[in-house]
Amino acid sequence: MRLLLDTHVVISMVNDRFAVEFPLIYRMLIDRSTDATVSVASIWEIAIKSRLGKLRTEISVSQIPAFLLASGIAILPIYVPHVIAMAEPELSTRDPFDRLLLTQCQVEGLRLVTVDRALTSSTGLPGLSYRHALVSLTIVEEPERVSVTA
């Protein structure tokens, strides 16, 4: 399974709360058949929120990429097709980071792992049919419960 981890999940990982807060996702990630990825957009969002004083992390923002790579998690750059795919159709979410993550899932064929109910409700469907491609969302509603849509 190829997963793109939302910013909330990354924050939980770098703050060493991941296994406790999201044990089912943690078990999915230690499964060798799971390829986990974090968008550079999530690292960017963490950097902005940290700089504004809205977020504190256990490690410095500059250490997050090395932490992720050492944990076996790839970092997905932002490519031109990711930006172009955001243009059509218009998503109801106004958050540019969420929009970018959704289009990266579409372009790269990834499933989004998120705890953001606003993000999942902005699509209108548990699996987002978008530009003739299916973007699957993995929705974490509670730490003990994970539902994966195909």
Half-sphere exposure of 51 (CA within 13 A, CB side): 7
Tell me the C-alpha distance between 138 and 6, whole Å. Answer: 10
Tell me the C-alpha distance between 147 and 149, whole Å. Answer: 7
Indicate if the pLDDT at residue 8 is higher than 60. yes
* DSSP, residue by residue, 96-118: HHHHHHHHHHHHHT-EEEE--HH
- For residue 137, how many other CB atoms are within 10 A of its CB? 22
For the segment 110-115, the average pLDDT, to the nearest whole number, is 83
Q: Is 37 helix (H, G, I), strand (E, B) or coil?
A: strand
- Confidence bin at 149 (pLDDT 50/70/90): very low
Indicate if the pLDDT at residue 70 is higher than 80. yes
Q: Is 136 helix (H, G, I), strand (E, B) or coil?
A: strand
